[in-house]
Amino acid sequence: MSNAKAQVLIIEDEPEIAELIEFHAERAGMRPRKVHSGRLAMDLIRREKPDVIVLDLMLPDLDGLEICRKLKQSDDTRSIPIVMVTAKGEESDVVAGIELGADDYVTKPFSPRVLMARLRNVLRRAGVIEDAPASGERMIMVDGRLIIDIDRHEVLCEGKKTDLTLTEFGILHYLASRPGFVRTRDQIISAVHGKSTVLSSRTVDVHITALRRKIGELSECVETVRGVGYRFADSGMDDA
Ligand code: CA
């Protein structure tokens, strides 16, 4: 882990949006660089290996999803986190991008603060910037109001033991292991499949409903992302 500024590559053909992201990334202590075409971006990424990529999905020359696919297929670039920028109504592209390996996304018009929070989040996960200290076998979430004891398969809500089924536990653990990251139903299925039961996309919703009921007031931590999937709320993120 280095103290050097995180290098952010902004792939965006709309100059105003690219400048907006650049401005906020600089203010957030990152080192942004912007490029307006997919082809230029591919050359630059191979040469310079940025720490994180902000990828507009609608580019004039290369399809953003194609860029994502290429980067995730190559050993050299696979580990670079990607945050997609999409237009409203492109939810199916978001799902496709996440399944290709993109880490997160924002939808235009987006709040720069939310985008910066997402970037910090992926940079933390990638080990580029300091992460919170590991909590061992227990995950302490929401300022200690939710404790997930991984070894014992136990969940404490507001200090009270809460009985979850194995599937509910698996889903909660999976979502909570990356707060702020949206997961598609298919990803949830592959993560918890086989541990207890066979899941279909529809039964994921049923388990989530049951899980939310059991964790009561904390249920708002399990957010529905319309058209995409679910995510555990990032309490460090101010969703302005
Ligand atoms: Ca565009």
Distance CA 94, CA 65 (A): 9
Q: How remote is the CA of residue 68 from the centroid of ligand 1, in Å?
A: 15
User: 76 with 155, same domain?
Assistant: no
Determine what percent of the chain is predicted with pLDDT higher than 90.
55
Helix H or strand E segment including 26: helix 15-27
User: 155 with 213, same domain?
Assistant: yes
Model confidence at 195: pLDDT above 70: no
197 band by pLDDT with thresholds 50, 70 and 90: low
Model confidence at 132: pLDDT above 60: no
User: 96 with 194, same domain?
Assistant: no
User: 15 with 104, same domain?
Assistant: yes
Instruction: Specify if 201 maps to a domain.
Output: yes
Question: Is the bond preceding 60 in cis, omega lying within 30 degrees of 0?
Answer: no
Distance CA 104, CA 232 (A): 13
Q: How remote is the CA of residue 70 from the centroid of ligand 1, in Å?
A: 19
Domain that holds residue 162: 139-239
Residue with tokens 């809460």: 162
* Of 176, 162, 169, 215, residue with least CA distance to 195: 169
Which pLDDT score, from 0 to 100, does residue 48 have?
Answer: 92
User: What is the pLDDT averaged over residues 11-26?
Assistant: 96
Q: How remote is the CA of residue 57 from the centroid of ligand 1, in Å?
A: 7
Q: How far is CA 233 from CA 9, 67, 90, 221, in A?
A: 26, 28, 22, 5
Distance CA 95, CA 124 (A): 23
Q: How many domains does the chain have?
A: 2
User: What is the pLDDT averaged over residues 221-240?
Assistant: 81
Which pLDDT score, from 0 to 100, does residue 2 have?
Answer: 45
CATH of the domain at 196: 1.10.10.10
User: 66 with 143, same domain?
Assistant: no
Which of the residue ranges 1-5, 80-84, 187-191 would you say has the lowest mean pLDDT? 1-5
Model confidence at 37: pLDDT above 80: yes
Strands (E), the chain: 7-11, 31-35, 52-56, 82-86, 104-107, 138-141, 146-149, 154-157, 160-162, 183-184, 222-225, 229-232
Model confidence at 198: pLDDT above 60: yes
Instruction: Specify if 132 maps to a domain.
Output: no
Q: How remote is the CA of residue 212 from the centroid of ligand 1, in Å?
A: 37
Which pLDDT score, from 0 to 100, does residue 124 have?
Answer: 80
Q: How remote is the CA of residue 126 from the centroid of ligand 1, in Å?
A: 26
The answer to whether 43 touches 37, Cβ cutoff 8 Å, is: no
User: 16 with 49, same domain?
Assistant: yes
Q: How remote is the CA of residue 52 from the centroid of ligand 1, in Å?
A: 18
The answer to whether 168 touches 143, Cβ cutoff 8 Å, is: no
User: What letter represents residue 20's amino acid?
Assistant: L
Buried b (16+ CB within 10 A) or exposed e, 41-56: bbeebeeeebbbbbbb
Q: How remote is the CA of residue 34 from the centroid of ligand 1, in Å?
A: 13
Q: How remote is the CA of residue 15 from the centroid of ligand 1, in Å?
A: 9
Task: Tell me how crowded residue 188 is: count the other CB atoms within 10 A of its CB.
Answer: 22
Instruction: Specify if 134 maps to a domain.
Output: no
User: 55 with 89, same domain?
Assistant: yes
Q: How remote is the CA of residue 74 from the centroid of ligand 1, in Å?
A: 24
Strands (E), 92-221: 104-107, 138-141, 146-149, 154-157, 160-162, 183-184
Model confidence at 68: pLDDT above 70: yes
Model confidence at 196: pLDDT above 50: no
Instruction: Specify if 133 maps to a domain.
Output: no
Model confidence at 130: pLDDT above 90: no
Structure tokens at 82: 């990607």
User: 121 with 167, same domain?
Assistant: no
User: 154 with 96, same domain?
Assistant: no
User: 156 with 195, same domain?
Assistant: yes
User: 149 with 118, same domain?
Assistant: no
Q: Answer with the one of 125, 147, 164 that is the final residue of a domain.
A: 125
Task: Tell me how crowded residue 81 is: count the other CB atoms within 10 A of its CB.
Answer: 22
CATH of the domain at 50: 3.40.50.2300
Between 190 and 207, where is the model more confident? Answer: 207
